[in-house]
């Protein structure tokens, strides 16, 4: 606030009279925290990854491109805990429907590689399932596990990306 006194230099007087009105601004309401993942995506329990399940999938290569168009990757799985979490997520998404689901693992020159370039540090193939060059996860049998399938089979798929709110602590 600035106060400025002006005089016409004719009147001489001591002191002055002033009045003012004060306005107390109420504190602004804080907005709720931003969602961890955007609409339609679901985060894992560590809030590190966002996942989206697509029931109407296509062949492996097409699904890989669809994920890329969303700024995401086909699902990668790097340990047993993540696999358990993913199996639970798939079961929640599929309900009573049972279908294998593409993951981002493919065979290149005879070796399995993740489509996002991360290290293949965990594999969970079911016995006798080495018939194809692309991998899918099966959640409706016991035990659950991965299958090597023909890449030209149309299957549901899961895309993932790192959560925007995730930071290494």
CATH for the stretch 45-162: 3.10.100.10
Whole-number Cα distances in Å, 104 to 45, 82, 117:
21, 14, 10
Residue 24 has pLDDT above 70, yes or no: no
DSSP E strand stretches across 94-166: 101-108, 111-114, 125-130, 134-138, 145-149, 157-162
What is the reported pTM? 0.74
- pLDDT at position 95: 86
Domain ranges within the chain, ordered by starting residue: 45-162
Question: In this structure, are residues 50 and 43 in contact, taking their beta carbons and an 8 Å threshold?
Answer: yes
Question: In this structure, are residues 53 and 156 in contact, taking their beta carbons and an 8 Å threshold?
Answer: yes
Integer-rounded Cα radius of gyration of the chain: 30
Residue 164 has pLDDT above 90, yes or no: no
- What confidence tier does 38 reach under pLDDT thresholds 50, 70, 90? confident
């Amino acid at each position: 606030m600035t106060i400025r006194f002006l005089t016409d230099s004719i009147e001489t007087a001591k002191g002055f009279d002033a009045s003012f009105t004060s306005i107390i601004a109420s504190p602004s309401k804080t907005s709720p925290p931003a969602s961890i993942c955007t609409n339609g995506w679901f985060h894992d329990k560590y809030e590190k990854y966002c996942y989206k399940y697509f029931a109407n999938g296509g062949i492996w290569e097409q699904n890989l491109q669809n994920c890329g168009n969303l700024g995401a990757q086909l699902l990668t799985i790097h340990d047993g805990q993540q696999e358990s979490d993913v199996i639970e997520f798939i079961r929640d998404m599929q309900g009573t429907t049972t279908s294998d689901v593409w993951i981002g693992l493919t065979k290149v020159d005879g070796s399995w590689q993740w489509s996002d370039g991360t290290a293949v540090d965990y594999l969970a193939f079911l016995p006798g399932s080495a018939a194809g060059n692309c991998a899918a996860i099966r959640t409706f049998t016991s035990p659950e596990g991965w299958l090597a399938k023909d890449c030209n089979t149309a299957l549901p798929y899961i895309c993932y990306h790192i959560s925007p709110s995730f930071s290494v602590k």
